[in-house]
């Protein structure tokens, strides 16, 4: 089995990753000849970048499953959803979607693992579970939410359930 690597930094990446979580580079959507037949070993974001427990950052990763690929947002980071590769690290997922704005929405996961989405004044709107978001207003995301960008780009939120902290259970 072949292991997929980032062409920019050489770190391991997952088969459905759109960006490298080590260096931030956009990953190609088409695999080089010879790799397409082989299945890559899945590598989780947690394996790629272990959280710094001393800083209190959660290991939570929000995954939004779009037809063009998965967008993963680790705790303590934000990702712009949109078509402009200068603005969005995951622009490849939306390059053929003309009704998605260049800078459509911002997904943020705080250090505690709470996820939000905000419409960035998109032309055709951002929707969570069918409700249109007011531009500039953060809306909390939970596991199973449906995100829609414009009329037809739909993704499902996968947010791991919070595990109790062993230190608290003492």
What digits encode the pLDDT tens for the residues 78-92? Answer: 999 999 999 888 988
Number of H helices, E strands in the chain: 2, 10
pLDDT tens, residue by residue, 151-164: 989 999 998 765 55
Domains and CATH numbers, the chain: 1-50 (no CATH), 51-161 (2.60.200.20)
Question: For the residues of 60-72, what is the DSSP string, one character each?
Answer: -EEEEEETTEEEE
Q: Whole-model pTM above 0.75? A: no
């Amino acid at each position: 089995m072949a292991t997929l690597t980032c062409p920019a930094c050489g770190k391991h990446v997952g088969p459905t990753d759109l960006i490298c979580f080590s260096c931030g580079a956009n990953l190609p959507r088409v695999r080089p000849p010879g790799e397409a037949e082989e299945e890559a070993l899945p590598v989780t974001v947690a394996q790629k970048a272990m959280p710094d427990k001393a800083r209190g950052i959660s290991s939570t990763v929000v995954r939004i499953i779009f037809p063009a690929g998965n967008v993963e947002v680790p705790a303590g980071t934000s990702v712009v959803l949109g078509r402009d590769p200068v603005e969005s690290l995951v622009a490849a997922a939306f390059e053929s979607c003309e009704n998605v704005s260049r800078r459509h929405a911002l997904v943020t996961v705080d250090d505690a693992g709470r996820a939000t989405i905000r419409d960035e004044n998109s032309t055709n709107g951002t929707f969570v579970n069918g409700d249109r978001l007011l531009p500039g207003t953060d809306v909390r995301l939970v596991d199973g939410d449906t995100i829609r960008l414009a009329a037809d780009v739909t993704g499902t939120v996968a947010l791991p359930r919070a595990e109790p902290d062993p230190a608290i259970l003492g």
